[in-house]
Amino acid sequence: MMAKVEPSEYLFGTEYEVRVINGFTNNSSVPLVIWCSNEEADLGGRALQEHDDFSWKMKTHFWSSNLMKCTMKWDQTRKKFDAFKASRDAHRCGPFKMCTWLVTEHGFFFSNDLVNWYKDFEW
């Protein structure tokens, strides 16, 4: 079921919280490196140790790209992914507008409640 977008949300934007958590179980010597940007902003890079997280607010507007791309690097492995994409996430981030990623050695998992995790893709 698609969430109904109110006209005021379309004009003034809706704010989402996007969070990426390092969920690796044993990478104390190799951090998970994340770098996020879009057409409007470069959030820079961070090195996340086990259980560290990186979060930001994302406000959607009809005049912006409504997309935040991130590159993840773990040891020699790299993966680019859409950390936030309004057309995909506007409804699935839930009523609290919370979009959380848990990145593990087994892949990228998404949740809007920090309880139920769904695997979106592999490394």
Contact of 22 with 32, CB cutoff 8 Å: yes
Contact of 70 with 119, CB cutoff 8 Å: no
Q: What is the pLDDT of residues 6-18, one digit of tens each?
A: 444 444 678 999 9
| Helix segments in the chain, DSSP class H | 7-12, 86-92
Distance from C-alpha of 45 to C-alpha of 70, rounded to nearest angstrom: 9
Q: What is the pLDDT of residue 13?
A: 77
pTM given for the model: 0.84
* β partners of residue 82: 69
* Per-residue tokens: 35: 């770098």
- Which domains are assigned to the chain? 15-112 (2.60.40)
Q: What is the pLDDT of residues 69-83, one digit of tens each?
A: 999 998 889 999 999
